[in-house]
A = this chain, B = another copy of it.
Amino acid sequence: METVSENRCFGGVQGVYKHDSNTCGCEMTFAVYTPPQAEDGPVPVLWYLSGLTCTHENAMTKAGLQEHAARHGLAIVYPDTSPRGEGVADDEAYDLGKGAGFYVNATRAPWKPHYRMYDYVVSELRDIVEKAMPVQTDRHGITGHSMGGHGALTIAMRNPDLFASLSAFAPIANPTQSDWGRKQLSAYLGDDESAWSDHDATLLLEDRGWKGDILVDQGGADQFLELLKPDALAGMMTRRRQPGTFRMQKGYDHSYFFVNSFAGDHVAWHAERLQ
């Protein structure tokens, strides 16, 4: 692991690191914020998965999580959203290929060799973070925005032993029924839709639910409501009696101004459940 940059931030350190990923078969970059409390020993950690077109950098500079993480004593991990580099397959569309890994392990050409963001986040990067950073191994929470909200919800529900708290900002909530999902799941996993259900938050919620409570914020003026399908998720939460809070936030759109506005609530939510 190589340090790309480290900047003091709210008394802690905002770092960027890169490493050769065995899982993705390429060099991967990620960011970690360590709060001032980490000087006294390991702290709980919140994973923030980003959306389409993002790298590790967007949320690190725009989401405003650090101030709240410093207050509550949480570390934040910001993974990239796809494999990178010259030898990695890509597509001209912004929503397939680089910047659009969808947190799955691809099983179809040309994506299969590198597009393994599910295993990367769940296993390889987690191992690296636990070994190299002052974080507690048994206190991980996960959240994310848009495609990253999809990643957070699906990864947590499939790995309840690995995560203790869960939230999402405007997640892609029902990708098997959306153009943000059908195209990508078909490309990465093939046309047999039975392979898709492990990557659909609404279907996973119906099938197994989440052991704790879930916080979801959704902007009421989000320009992508038809693609995100929050109604499917909110409806399933209700039908399944899933403990949690779904908030439709009047007037907010899909931008980082929305994420920023509720970052404090989400960090506090995770801090309360991780400490």
Contacts and interface: CB of A to CB of B under 8 A. Distances in A.
A252 interface: yes
A190 interface: no
Contact of A255 (B7, B253, B258, B261): B7
Interface string A60-93: 0110101100000000000000000000000000
Interface residues of A, number: 23
A253 B67 contact: no
Contacts of A224: none
Nearest to A256: B61
A225 interface: no
A221 B8 contact: yes
A261 B61 contact: no
Given A66-B260, A260-B67, A252 B61 contact: no
Nearest to A13: B251
A257 interface: yes
A14 interface: yes
Contact of A261 (B9, B62, B219, B264): B9
Nearest to A263: B67
Contacts of A257: 7-9, 14, 66
B8 A253 contact: yes
A11 interface: yes
Contacts of A246: none
7 contacts: A7-B252, A7-B258, A9-B258, A61-B61, A61-B62, A62-B62, A67-B67
A269 interface: no
A10 interface: yes
Nearest to A7: B257
Given A14-B257, A64-B67, A66-B257, 10 more contacts: A7-B252, A7-B255, A7-B257, A8-B219, A9-B257, A10-B261, A11-B261, A64-B260, A66-B260, A66-B261
A252 B67 contact: no
Interface in A208-253: 219, 221, 251-253
Nearest to A262: B10
A261 B8 contact: yes
Contacts of A64: 64, 67, 260
Contacts of A10: 260-261
A137 to B, nearest CB: 27
